[in-house]
Amino acid sequence: MKKIIITVVVIAASLGIITYILTNNKKDNEAKTAVVAEKNATVSVRTDVVKTEDVSLDFVSNGNFEPVQELKFSAEKSGKITKILAKEGDYVSVGQTLAIVRSDVVNVNAQNANAIYQNAVADYNRFENAFKTGGVTKQQLDQAKLQMVNAKSQLTQANINVGDTRIKAPISGFINKKHIEVGSIITGMPATQLFDIVNVSKLKLKVNVNESQVAGLRVGSATNVVASVYPDKTFSGKITFIAAKADETLNFPVEIEITNNANKDLKAGMYGTAAFASNQQKQSLKIVPRNAFVGSVSSNQIFVIENGTAKLKTVTAGRILGDKVEILNGLEDGEQVIVTGQINLQDGSKVEIIK
């Protein structure tokens, strides 16, 4: 009995010690959590100042050059390639022969069609003379004329087939890709690809502008264009297209046509920059950095600092001027706007400014 009592006392004492240790650990963890929470309650941010300054309304936009004219053309008739007269990189003119298809059978057919037509013409002339003397009837004369007309149609088609044995360039430009070799069998159905031709005598630069920028653009207006690989050369361009509707990014596609120089320095696919000049002089505008906005500029929300806390304000944004945005309403000069750290903020969060 005494052993049982001792065992119970030992167990109870052990449980008491364990409970005491766990309670103290919980208090220590709560104290540490409170310290961390207090420390994390302040969010580190960077700021900038709202200010009014003279701003140029000129702007630039980047894009890629594309050919004004590009053609991937295919075979219309079947045959075997016997000769290729152009290679990749060659400049070809419209109508220039690029390849020749085997033509012996086609030429024989054309010769036969020509002989049939000449016989039909001779028969018609004989029938016409005989009709004048009453030797043949009007019906016989009409039949001879019909045969002559049919023979003429067949000769015309035969000559077209002869012409089709010489594959000609439908546009002027550079051979960008050759899909055939001597001995290739081409077909019209399905059509065999022959050549890709790119005309770079003129190119178009496709760029995107925002709603405030597009308002000042007009089709036909001149603009200067610079290619990234030729920073010292300026090309004259002309706006040929302005989209009537914004794309999914709320920007408006604009196309600028550029006449290439004699050396054809500009290539399709190069990166270019268009400089758009504004008709207005510099204006005094209230501006903030673009990255002051929570999310995108279209959100119209900005955090400002008031008494060491972040206050979310709704503003009215105007024109986007590169990395700056015009503020029409909602902010005053001298206010501090938060430009980094907004993702961790809520309205009323305590902040610490990083210098």
The confidence band for 166, taking pLDDT boundaries of 50, 70 and 90, is confident
CATH class of 59-67+196-276: mainly beta
Q: What is the pLDDT of residue 281?
A: 61
Q: Which of 298, 295, 294 is nearest to 337 (CA)?
A: 294
The whole model's pTM is what? 0.57
**Rounded CA separation 313/10 (Å):** 66
Beta carbons of 252 and 209 less than 8 angstroms apart: yes
Cα atoms in the 13 Å half-sphere on the side-chain side of 99: 25
The confidence band for 15, taking pLDDT boundaries of 50, 70 and 90, is low
| Over residues 250-275, mean pLDDT | 91
Beta carbons of 235 and 203 less than 8 angstroms apart: no
**Which tops the pLDDT comparison, 345 or 8?**
345
Strands 252-259 and 166-168: unpaired
Q: Which of 55, 62, 57 is nearest to 209 (CA)?
A: 62
Q: What is the pLDDT of residue 338?
A: 92
The confidence band for 39, taking pLDDT boundaries of 50, 70 and 90, is very low
Q: Which of 149, 144, 117 is nearest to 130 (CA)?
A: 144
Per CATH, the number for 44-57+283-353 is: 2.40.420.20
Supply φ then ψ for residue 334, to 5 degrees.
95, -15
**Rounded CA separation 118/14 (Å):** 127
Q: Which of 121, 125, 99 is nearest to 186 (CA)?
A: 99
Check whether 4 has a pLDDT greater than 90: no
**Which tops the pLDDT comparison, 154 or 20?**
154
Same fold, 44-57+283-353 and 59-67+196-276: no
The confidence band for 105, taking pLDDT boundaries of 50, 70 and 90, is low
Is residue 268 exposed (0-12), middle (13-18) or buried (19+ Cβ within 10 Å)?
A: middle
**Rounded CA separation 354/154 (Å):** 88
Which contacts (CB < 8 Å, 24+ apart) does range 39-42 have?
Answer: 41/349, 41/350, 42/350, 42/351, 42/352
**Rounded CA separation 99/192 (Å):** 13
Query: What are the pLDDT digits (tens) for 53-83?
Result: 887 777 889 999 999 899 998 888 788 888 9
Query: What are the pLDDT digits (tens) for 187-244?
Result: 877 889 999 999 999 999 999 998 878 888 899 999 999 999 998 899 999 999 999 9
Total count of residues recorded for the chain:
355
Q: What is the pLDDT of residue 305?
A: 93
Check whether 30 has a pLDDT greater than 60: no
What architecture is domain 103-164? Orthogonal Bundle (1.10)
DSSP SS3 for 105:
helix
The confidence band for 17, taking pLDDT boundaries of 50, 70 and 90, is low
Both tokens of 311, joined, read: 């206050």
Weakest mean pLDDT among 16-20, 69-73, 156-160:
16-20
User: Cβ–Cβ contacts within 10 Å for residue 285, how many?
Assistant: 19
**Rounded CA separation 187/254 (Å):** 40
Is residue 245 exposed (0-12), middle (13-18) or buried (19+ Cβ within 10 Å)?
A: exposed
Query: What are the pLDDT digits (tens) for 117-135?
Result: 888 888 889 888 888 888 8
Q: Kindly list the domain boundaries of the chain, sorted by start residue.
A: 44-57+283-353, 59-67+196-276, 103-164
